[in-house]
Structure 1
């Protein structure tokens, strides 16, 4: 009988020995004694977008362009005004009260004070290259303290370069509480110095060469001191101080 040989598996001495999974101390084990493996929870990493918002960038760009445009327009406007000023050398017109005459000053039956004044004014345009259009709606009024005695309309006309124009105006009016006002005027007349205030409100348009500009208003205030308010008598103007300004 031939002898049977037993074949044993050859052990690779160079192969690394199998190692058991590391189990932390105090880990739970299953019923069979094998350690229970714990899975760590997965973390979700947020994705951060680094692109700048386009709307904000466009808005900032529009604001910058708008500010730049406004600054440019202001520079152009300032340069234009400066050139016009140097070219035309504008000056305010001058006015003076030449004479004042009272045609009527009396108490009515309803105790209102009626006044009728004749005023002569000289308007002087000193500009060499600027004409003045006096438009409709201008007013001249005479006041005593805070009471308006009378008023009248300024005529509509054109005043050329370096022109002097004389205006004869008729002013009329009725004032409430006439008896009190008349008594105050008569008492003031005894001193020989009666303060009156003439107010001017004239809408005008300026003509630069052939260009007619928009309307502005000439506002004037003339403080007068007269010696009398007797009707149909020559009234002497003892003092006169006039100030005028433009209102856009």
Structure 2
């Protein structure tokens, strides 16, 4: 056999290329031109889809954004107004915290019960001073005063409800009573501490008050505080000497 030649088949798309009659160059007549024009396939037309772009966001999204912006603006204006009002009131009334002092402490009873609980009754003299010239103080119901020793509450009581005017000093005599479990252990610890001549006691204060600015009565706030007292003894029916007293007070909501 001689040189082998590879023959590749040619695939002709009959539908894509319609068969046309062969006409020699330069010899086409008018009739033949007519036949060619009739057999020529029509031009292809492609339809291009048009995508409409939305230039504006949905109405719901716009309204939601406006609502959030308005809420933030109103909140900012409210906070700003409250701050400005507070500054103006402070400049006009110049508020000061009231002052308190424990002037006397007397134990009416400190004894063990049959169930080994400790019963205590204290009489406390407290002086409350309102140093403000334009602010009155209403002492409301729900106050709590308590005396503690080593994280154990000995007794508790309440302040009376009263009004304290401008630059007024009021002396209060408060009776505190209480009953504590494990009295035997507690009375032993108190007797050992009494031998040193320095017994630490904590007087805790929680008093709801309403502030009066001129003729305006504001909402209730709370006066919270602690007085650390150092006394020489806890003998019943004896006047106890207060060797040291340190008080700290603040306003709470």
| Fold shared by both chains (TM-score > 0.5) | yes
- Of 33, 36, 55, which aligns to 1:51? 55
Q: In structure 1, list runs of 5 or more residues that go unmatched.
A: 1-24
Aligned pairs for 1:103-118 within 5 A: 103-118=108-123
Aligned pairs for 1:24-173 within 5 A: 28=14, 37=41, 42-52=46-56, 53-173=58-178
1:183 counterpart residue number: 188
1:211 paired with 2:216, answer: yes
TM-score by length of 2: 0.83
Deviations 1:73-105 (A, max 9, x none): 222111111100000000000000000000110
> CA distance change for structure 1 residues 37 and 105 in 2, over 3 Å: closer, same or farther?
same
Structure 1 distance, partners of 2:92, 2:214, is 11
Q: What SS class does the counterpart of residue 61 from structure 2 fall into?
A: helix
1:229 paired with 2:234, answer: yes
Structure 2 distance, partners of 1:178, 1:37, is 117
Give 1:42 deviation, angstroms. Answer: 3.6
Structure 2 distance, partners of 1:72, 1:31, is 84
Q: What SS class does the counterpart of residue 184 from structure 1 fall into?
A: helix
1:10 counterpart residue number: none
Structure 2 distance, partners of 1:110, 1:209, is 54
Give 1:44 deviation, angstroms. Answer: 4.3
1:244 counterpart residue number: 249
Given that 1:27 and 1:36 are in contact with CA atoms closer than 8 Å, whether structure 2 keeps it comes out as no
Give 1:30 deviation, angstroms. Answer: 5.7
Structure 2 distance, partners of 1:118, 1:216, is 27
Give 1:51 deviation, angstroms. Answer: 3.5
Give 1:70 deviation, angstroms. Answer: 1.5
> CA distance change for structure 1 residues 108 and 42 in 2, over 3 Å: closer, same or farther?
same
Give 1:26 deviation, angstroms. Answer: 5.3
> CA distance change for structure 1 residues 88 and 33 in 2, over 3 Å: closer, same or farther?
same
Give the length in aligned residue pairs.
224
Give 1:37 deviation, angstroms. Answer: 4.7
